[in-house]
Structure 1
Amino acid sequence: MVDAVIFDLDGVLVDSEPVWEQVRRGYVAAHGGRWQPDTQRRLMGMSTGEWAAYLSGELGVDRSAERVATEVVDEMAGRYREHVPLIPGADRVVRALAADWPLGLASSSPPRLIDVALAAAGLTDAFRVTLSTERVARGKPAPDVYRTVAERLGVAPARCVAVEDSSNGVRSAAAAGMRVVAVPHGSYPLDPDAERQAHLVIGSIDELTGPAVRALG
């Protein structure tokens, strides 16, 4: 049986990964750092503290990690105030599944960006539990955020379906013991090991139907 469905936010409900890449890439270039070929892949799923430390440390940005986090999130909030790039059909899918299962949200975005995105999409009330990796010890690919959301929903992880787009997100949900639906972004394909951990790979969020979720049980 499937007793709950837990969504990621970035790349699943909101097409924000290209925005994150543009903002962070520009920030690194403006502050003395050097973007690496694998940087975006490594950043996907990291908590705010983790990616800020990565930009400040490994990429050589001439700012403290705390300042990096504040300035980059401020820029993202400004972008979101102008336009939240909701993935077409995502709101309909969430509403349809919320009629049959309690929903959770396990996101690497800071809480204020989660709040802005859900409010703009009209989905704030669709999720019983929302949680940022800022509120747990480790970001994705560690399982902490998924395990905590399941605990707060009162559901065993093995009876949850997680919906993810990134390799680190898939690894996180799988490590938590959940069945994973992967919706990879066209610009950021899954790593082979992550794809093997997904129980179902779909081409768009519209394919995530009630029967598809039940079949995973």
Structure 2
Amino acid sequence: MDAVIFDLDGVLVDSETTWDEVRRAVVAEHGGTWRPEATRAQQGMSTPEWANYLVETLGAQLAPDEIARVVIDEMAARYADRPPVIDGADQVVREISRHWPVAIASSSPPVLIHSFLTACDLTSLVPVAVSSEEVAAGKPEPDVYLRAATLLGVEASRCAAVEDSTNGLRAAFAANMTVFAVPNPHFPPDPAVLRKATVLPNLAALPHSLSDAAHSGK
């Protein structure tokens, strides 16, 4: 194992419920109708993908680029003081960065990824941060993970990925990475997908599990 690539939302920041709340409010405000499957459907989508979903599937009466701006502006406002960092997440990234190169591969837009890195003073320790806005397709496609591995200069099959959601796990598996899951308590992943990953009780367990995997040759 030559590198570790983290998802952001649900792994390092407790933001999935905030994304859900903001999107629901914007859809309602602009004449759309939320559907029961909408939350899970959007997990892992890139910004253009979920913006189109809000308009074309949920019926919000805004252009996709405009609804994306409204949602991201509200998310940025909520991140203004400090992103909702999961307790100890920044320390885990610091510890792992002492042993392996570290990257982020996220469906969040770049402004929110960099907000997290800046708030936690991790910019110098995380040399690669890729948003799915910057690749052809969001999760569950593997593009964002493959791009992060390429920028790190590491074969994707030599990377560990850390994920929390069904689509994120599928993306990491599709990239042929060793996958560690910290299941999202708000939106638990599909058990059939989860069974293929190394499941951790919390993020704090990751350094030990990575060390075990490295020593076992996984």
The bucket for the TM-score relative to the shorter chain is over 0.9
Q: Is the 8 A contact 1:45 1:141 kept in 2?
A: yes
1:44 Cα deviation from its structure 2 partner: 0.8
Please give the residue correspondences for 1:196-211 in structure 2 after superposition, counting only pairs within 5 Å: 196-198=195-197, 200-209=198-207, 211=208
**1:29 CA drift (Å):** 1.0
**2:39 aligned partner:** 40
Indicate the SS of the match to 2:75.
Answer: helix
Q: Distance in 2 between matches of 1:41 and 1:158?
A: 27
RMSD after superposition: 1.0
Q: Which residue of 1 aligns with 2:115?
A: 116
Measure the CA separation in 1 of the matches of 2:212 and 2:39: 33
Partners of 2:193 and 2:127 in 1: how far apart? Answer: 27
The runs of 5 or more residues in structure 2 that have no matched partner are none
What amino acid is aligned across from residue 11 of structure 2 in structure 1? V
Distance 1:40 1:84 in 2: 21
Normalised to the residue count of structure 1, the TM-score between the two structures is 0.96
Which whole-Å CA distance do the structure 1 matches of 2:82 and 2:181 have between them?
25
Contact 1:171 1:197 survives alignment (8 Å) = no
Which residue pairs with 1:63 in the alignment? 62
Code of the aligned partner of 1:207: A
- Listed one character per residue, the Cα deviations across residues 110-159 of structure 1 (whole Å, up to 9, x for unaligned) are 11111111111221122121110000000000000101111111111111
Aligned twin of 1:153: 152
Q: Which amino acid aligns with 2:111?
A: R
Residue type of the partner of 2:205? E
Say if 1:48 and 1:110, in contact at 8 Å, map to a contact too.
yes
Mapping of 1:170-185 within 5 angstroms? Answer: 170-185=169-184
Structure 2 partner of 1:213: 210
Map 1:185-200; keep pairs closer than 5 Å: 185-198=184-197, 200=198
Q: Give the aligned partner of residue 8 of structure 1.
A: 7
1:97 alignment partner in structure 2: 96
Counterpart contact for 1:161–1:179, Cα < 8 Å: yes
Q: In structure 2, how many angstroms separate the alpha carbons of the residues matched to 1:150 and 1:76?
A: 27
Q: Which runs of 5+ in 1 are unaligned?
A: none
2 CA distance for matches of 1:43 and 1:179?
24
Query: Runs of 4+ in structure 1 displaced over 2 angstroms?
Result: 214-217
User: After the TM superposition, which residues 119-158 of structure 1 pair with which residues of structure 2 at under 5 Å, given as runs?
Assistant: 119-158=118-157
Percentage identity across paired residues of the two chains:
51
SS at match of 1:60: coil
> Does 117-126 or 128-137 show the bigger shift?
117-126
Residue deviations 1:77-107 (CA, integer Å, cap 9, x gap)? 1110033110001011100000000001101
CA distance, structure 1, for counterparts of residue 65 and residue 142 of structure 2? 24
Number of positions where the alignment pairs a residue of Structure 1 with one of Structure 2 = 214
